[in-house]
Amino acid sequence: MGFSIGALNLWLPFALGYCLVWLTIKLASRNIKREAAGGYAEEYGNKQLVYLFGYYPFLALAIASIFVPIQFDILFWPGLIVFIFGITINIITINTFIRSGERLKTSGFYRYSRNPMYLANLIYILGLTLMGWAQSCANLFFILLTLFWMGGTHWCVLREEAHLAKKFGQDYLDYKKRTPRYWLI
C-alpha cells in the first residue's frame, strides 16, 4: 500500500478535529481582547522559529493525512476512541485556559500536566495514527512527521516555560515542581 487520495483518508477526521478545536478557541475567546491572549515575541522570542518548529510540522501532518487511508480494521475503533478523547481534552483545556485569563493556569487538566493542550494534540494525532495504521509508506511518513512535530512542540514548550518562569516567578516554579510537564513525565 502506498499513497492514495480519497474521501476516507485521515484528512477527514483530522479536519473535523481541528475545526472543533478552532471553533472552541473562537467561541471561548470572543469576548477577550487580542492583547490579553499573549504574544509570540514575548513568549517564544522568534515568531519565525515558532512557525518552523510548531506550525509547519502540524501543517505537514495535515497535508500528509490526505494520503493516508483510514483502515477499518482492528485498530480503527481504539484509534477513534483515542482521537475523540484527545479532541475532548483539548476542548476542555482550551476553555479552562481562555477563561482563566492572565493568571497562572493550575486547575482542570492543568493539575495533571503543565501542557495539557499539547498533550491532547498528541493524543489526537496518536488516535489518527491508529486509525490509519498499515504497513505502508504513507503511514510511515505520517509517523515520522508526528515525531518531527513532537520535537518542534517540545521546543515550543521549553520556550513557554522560560517565559512563564519570568512572568509568574516563584508561583510558576512551585507549580513546575509539583506538576509534570506532560503527564507522568
pLDDT tens digits for range 32-76: 654 444 444 455 566 777 777 778 888 899 999 998 999 999 999
Which residues span the domain enclosing 153? Answer: 45-178
Residues paired with 69 in a beta bridge: 9
142 located within any domain: yes
Distance CA 67, CA 11 (A): 8
pLDDT at 147: 92
185 located within any domain: no
66 located within any domain: yes
26 located within any domain: no
Distance CA 36, CA 54 (A): 21
34 located within any domain: no
pLDDT at 109: 93
pLDDT tens digits for range 109-161: 999 999 999 999 999 999 999 999 988 888 888 999 999 999 988 988 998 89
23 located within any domain: no
106 located within any domain: yes
CA trace torsion 18, 20, 22, 23 (10° rounding): 160
Give the count of domains, the chain: 1
132 located within any domain: yes
